[in-house]
Structure 1
Amino acid sequence: MPIPVDKLTDPAVRAFVTALNSHDRAAFRAALTADATMADDGADRDLEEWTDREIFATRGHLDVEAQKGGGRDLVARYRNDTWGEMRTQWHFVVEDGKVARFETGQA
């Protein structure tokens, strides 16, 4: 049973997941610091290119199964139109109430 997004512990992570699931680019960008970075499967990626390809152009969606580390470490089912659904892990670094870095990969 997924954890409802409004029950995610960390407010910055909650804003990130809410924006991702609603495909709201403006809200997603607002959830990130100006210099935010990310990695996928251990390799740094271009944040704008990756989020466009993996989230916005392909209707990405995150169903959180578990959270720990104050809500900054998630295990979730992630799906998009390119890859289908997979079990993933997410780690967030939060600075000043916004996501400064996120790392994702298969769980």
Structure 2
Amino acid sequence: MTIQVAKLSHPAVRDFVSAVNAHDRDAFRAALAPGATMSDDGSERDLDDWTAREIFDSHGHMEVDKEADGGLALLARYSNDAWGEMRTRWSFTVDDGGRITHFATGQA
């Protein structure tokens, strides 16, 4: 059962997923703290390169099935034009200002 984006528990994660699904680069960057980092399947990646390739240039989309850890961990069906749909896990670290400092994703 999919959780509607507006019903996601954590505001920063809600903003992140909303920006991904709207393909809104400005809103995506606004959800991230300056100097934010990310990893994919346990390997650190260049945030700008990865998000351009895996989200924005390939029309990435998240359908969240489950959340945990106060909304900072998600299980989602992620799809894009490059890879099709896959089951993925996402976890987020958020600073005191409510912006994401790190996110990690990978196949679930």
TM over 0.5: yes
- 5+ long unaligned stretches in structure 2: none
Shift of 1:93: 0.2
Matched residue type, 1:58: S
RMSD: 0.4
SS in 2 for 1:50: helix
Which residue of 1 is the match for residue 54 of structure 2? Answer: 54
Q: Does 2:69 match 1:72?
A: no
Distance 2:89 2:3 in 1: 14
SS in 2 for 1:52: helix
Aligned pair count?
A: 107
Distance 1:57 1:20 in 2: 11
- 5+ long unaligned stretches in structure 1: none
Shift of 1:10: 0.3
Which residue of 2 is the match for residue 38 of structure 1? Answer: 38
Which residue of 1 is the match for residue 84 of structure 2? Answer: 84
SS in 2 for 1:9: coil
Normalized against structure 2, the TM-score is what?
A: 0.98
Normalized against structure 1, the TM-score is what?
A: 0.99
Distance 1:94 1:63 in 2: 21
